[in-house]
Amino acid sequence: MLPSLNDCKILKQGKKGLDKRSPQQIRLWVQNQINKNRKPCNVQRWTTPEKRVIKEVFGKYIDPDCSVYPSAEEIRDAVSTHKEIENRTPRKIKSQIQHLKKLKAKCLDFGSP
């Protein structure tokens, strides 16, 4: 939680480098200190075989004209039959489908299935 502007004035008196900063700048400094101490998130990139399976199985949903997404049950069935995507959750798969749909709508080439 960020400190109030009054807390920033008090903090300004206690820290040497903050004496020439405004309360708003001190608040930003505190936010940056909090962000520095966070652990980096572990982002798992999509591999080529995973993307290929998504494009093959859910190709009809990637079409920009299609306004629906696969059901969770349909995604679970695909996960159980394709070992390449067994470590992906239905939510992550649906997000990837949305991403590929957006790329296709922008007329970017995202490879053949």
What pLDDT score does 26 carry? 82
Ranges of residues in the chain whose predicted pLDDT is under 70: 1, 108-113
What pLDDT score does 75 carry? 95
Neighbours of 50 (CB within 10 A): 20
Q: How far apart are CA 48 and CA 91, in angstroms?
A: 19
What pLDDT score does 56 carry? 95
Q: How far apart are CA 40 and CA 37, in angstroms?
A: 9
What pLDDT score does 85 carry? 95
What is the residue extent of each domain of the chain?
A: 5-36, 48-105
Q: Are 96 and 46 in contact (CB under 8 A)?
A: yes
pTM of this prediction exceeds 0.85: no
pLDDT tens digits for 53-85? Answer: 999 999 999 988 888 999 999 999 999 999 999
